[in-house]
Amino acid sequence: MDYARLFRLDGRRAVVVGAGSGIGRESALALGAHGAEVVCADRDEAAAAGTAAEIERGWALGLDVLDAGAVERAARDLGDVDALVFTAATNVRKRLLDYTPEEFDRVTGLNLRASFDLVRAFGAPMVRRGRGSIIGFSSIRAFSVEPGQGVYAATKAGLIQLLRTAAAEFGPSGVRVNAVAPGVAETPLTAQIKNDPAWYDAYAGKTALGRWAGAEELAGAVVYLASDAASYVTGSVLTVDGGWTAVDGRYDPPGAGC
């Protein structure tokens, strides 16, 4: 075993959906830095092109994942894909009684239905070739909810079960499927919270490390799951949350205690 090259991705093609910004962008850059050819896909093709320009073997693809036909065409036209990473998601922060059916459809449509389409479109040729890695982004909200996050949390919990089922179904063909569950990370999706100092500090205080993650701190998980370092890892959820789920609900009593 050449452990020095365990994380290298030379000669492999990765597709990153959501590569125009945030975690998707950093994931694409990290995969490229480890030798992969990276297709930077995003609804905002100009943003995807900006990411691709920073990768030696990177190129951009305009892709609206809400268009199932476009997803199928992309999977067909791209040919052999060794790794699929998808990060695109949306959230409407409202309590359940305030939600509209249109908002429900918008959140579930992008977070769950589009994920279903991506897994099927890119997973089928991987199964036929007998290799590949699929990495979808869930969230700690799949396990730990708060008021106003119900629909988002439901989609992220559903995504984990979708990916675990894909792992079971695709595994006999040599295809691995895993989820990454971030905690609070500074991305465009969390801009509303970042701009509220009280909210920002409260979330930072929920973690063991006492801070938010930078989007780049999620990229290592993606490289790991895409590489041979994770050759026996499938059906797993890699939580990258600064210890949030380990200490959620903690109480630090005064004094020594026991």
185: its two tokens: 């990370």
Q: Are 227 and 131 in contact (CB under 8 A)?
A: no
Q: Are 55 and 77 in contact (CB under 8 A)?
A: no
Task: Kindly give, in sequence order, each residue whose CB lies less than 8 Å from that of residue 35, ignoring residues fewer than 6 positions away.
Answer: 8, 9, 10, 11, 12
Catalytic residue among 3, 99, 152, 251: 152
251: its two tokens: 């109480």
Burial bucket for residue 95 (CB in 10 Å: 0-12, 13-18, 19+): exposed
203 assigned to active site: no
Q: How far is CA 144 from CA 32, 187, 225, 248, in A?
A: 33, 20, 24, 8
Catalytic residues: 152
